[in-house]
Amino acid sequence: MHNPQLNRNGALQHLLTIDGLPREILSDILDTAAPFTEVAEREVKKLPLLRGKSVFNLFFENSTRTRTTFEIAAKRLSADVINLNIGTSSASKGESLLDTVDNLCAMQADMFVVRHAVSGAPFLIAQHLAANGRDHIHVINAGDGRHAHPTQGLLDMYTIRHYKKDFTRLIVAIVGDVLHSRVARSQIGALTTLGVPEIRVIGPKTLIPADVDRLGVRVFHDMRAGLKDVDVVMMLRLQSERMQGALLPSPQEFFKYYGLTADKLCCARPDAIVMHPGPMNRGVEIDSAVADGQHAVILPQVTFGIAVRMAVMSMLAGT
Amino acid sequence: MHNPQLNRNGALQHLLTIDGLPREILSDILDTAAPFTEVAEREVKKLPLLRGKSVFNLFFENSTRTRTTFEIAAKRLSADVINLNIGTSSASKGESLLDTVDNLCAMQADMFVVRHAVSGAPFLIAQHLAANGRDHIHVINAGDGRHAHPTQGLLDMYTIRHYKKDFTRLIVAIVGDVLHSRVARSQIGALTTLGVPEIRVIGPKTLIPADVDRLGVRVFHDMRAGLKDVDVVMMLRLQSERMQGALLPSPQEFFKYYGLTADKLCCARPDAIVMHPGPMNRGVEIDSAVADGQHAVILPQVTFGIAVRMAVMSMLAGT
Amino acid sequence: MHNPQLNRNGALQHLLTIDGLPREILSDILDTAAPFTEVAEREVKKLPLLRGKSVFNLFFENSTRTRTTFEIAAKRLSADVINLNIGTSSASKGESLLDTVDNLCAMQADMFVVRHAVSGAPFLIAQHLAANGRDHIHVINAGDGRHAHPTQGLLDMYTIRHYKKDFTRLIVAIVGDVLHSRVARSQIGALTTLGVPEIRVIGPKTLIPADVDRLGVRVFHDMRAGLKDVDVVMMLRLQSERMQGALLPSPQEFFKYYGLTADKLCCARPDAIVMHPGPMNRGVEIDSAVADGQHAVILPQVTFGIAVRMAVMSMLAGT
CATH number of the domain encompassing residue A271: 3.40.50.1370
Q: Range of A247's domain?
A: 150-298
Residues B259 and B154 in one domain: yes
Which tops the pLDDT comparison, B206 or B150?
B150
pLDDT over 50 at A90, yes or no: no
Q: Is residue C16 part of a domain?
A: no
User: What's the number of domains chain B is made of?
Assistant: 2
Residues C284 and C263 in one domain: yes
Residues C104 and C179 in one domain: no
Residues A48 and A87 in one domain: yes
A18-66 tens-digit pLDDT: 998 999 999 999 999 999 998 877 878 899 999 999 999 999 988 889 9
Residues A159 and A139 in one domain: no
pLDDT over 50 at C92, yes or no: no
Is residue B130 packed enough to be buried (19+ CB in 10 Å), middle (13-18) or exposed (0-12)? middle
Which tops the pLDDT comparison, B148 or B300?
B300
Tell me the chain B residues in contact with residue C278 when contact means C-beta distances shorter than 8 Å.
95, 99, 103
Residues A223-250 have a mean pLDDT of 83
Angstroms from C93 CA to nearest CA on chain A: 7
Tell me the chain C residues in contact with residue A182 when contact means C-beta distances shorter than 8 Å.
none
- Mean pLDDT, rounded, of chain C: 91
pLDDT over 90 at C15, yes or no: yes
C299 with B104: Cβ contact below 8 A: no
A95 with B279: Cβ contact below 8 A: yes
CB-CB neighbours of B214 under 10 Å:
8
| Least confident range of A218-232, B192-206, B238-252, B290-304 | B238-252
Angstroms from B68 CA to nearest CA on chain A: 7
Tell me the chain A residues in contact with residue C137 when contact means C-beta distances shorter than 8 Å.
none
Q: Is residue B89 part of a domain?
A: yes
Nearest CA in chain A to B284: A94
Q: What percent of chain B has pLDDT over 90?
A: 76
Q: Does C104 touch chain A (CB under 8 A)?
A: yes
C99 with A278: Cβ contact below 8 A: yes
Whether the pTM exceeds 0.95: the reply is: no
φ, ψ at C91 (rounded to 5°): -50, -40
Q: Is residue C18 part of a domain?
A: no
User: C42 by DSSP, 3-state: which?
Assistant: coil
What per-residue confidence (pLDDT) applies to C182?
Answer: 82
Q: Is residue A238 part of a domain?
A: yes
Residues B247 and B111 in one domain: no
Q: Is residue A18 part of a domain?
A: no
Angstroms from C212 CA to nearest CA on chain B: 28
Q: Does B75 touch chain A (CB under 8 A)?
A: yes
User: C268 by DSSP, 3-state: which?
Assistant: coil
Residues A69-81 have a mean pLDDT of 97
Residue B296 pairs in a beta bridge with: B274
Q: Which amino acid is at C17?
A: T
What per-residue confidence (pLDDT) applies to C299?
Answer: 97
Nearest CA in chain C to B84: C64
Q: Is residue B201 part of a domain?
A: yes
Contacts of C266 (CB under 8 A, 6+ apart): none
Tell me the chain A residues in contact with residue C96 when contact means C-beta distances shorter than 8 Å.
282
The span from the CA of A20 to the CA of A189, in Å, is: 8
Residues C142 and C47 in one domain: yes
Q: Does C132 touch chain A (CB under 8 A)?
A: no
Q: Is residue C29 part of a domain?
A: yes
pLDDT over 60 at A199, yes or no: yes
C206-251 tens-digit pLDDT: 899 988 888 899 999 999 999 999 999 999 998 766 555 656 668 8
B103 with C71: Cβ contact below 8 A: no
A94 with B300: Cβ contact below 8 A: no
B51 with C44: Cβ contact below 8 A: yes
Q: Does B68 touch chain A (CB under 8 A)?
A: yes
ipTM: 0.92
What per-residue confidence (pLDDT) applies to A246?
Answer: 59
Residues A188 and A284 in one domain: yes
Angstroms from B265 CA to nearest CA on chain A: 22
Angstroms from C114 CA to nearest CA on chain A: 16
Q: Does A94 touch chain B (CB under 8 A)?
A: yes
Q: Is residue B221 part of a domain?
A: yes
Tabulate helix, strand, coil % of chain B (nearest 5): 45, 15, 40
Which B residues 221-250 touch A at CB under 8 Å?
A: 241
Nearest CA in chain A to B238: A93
Residues A127 and A175 in one domain: no
Q: What percent of chain C has pLDDT over 90?
A: 76
Under the banding of pLDDT at 50, 70 and 90, the label for residue B180 is confident
Residues B264-281 have a mean pLDDT of 96
**CA distance to A35, B2, B111, B194, per residue, from B10 (Å):** 55, 10, 19, 18
Residues A137 and A157 in one domain: no
Residues C138 and C166 in one domain: no
Q: Does A131 touch chain B (CB under 8 A)?
A: no
pLDDT over 50 at B90, yes or no: no
Chains that touch C (3 or more CB pairs under 8 A): A, B
Residues B178 and B252 in one domain: yes
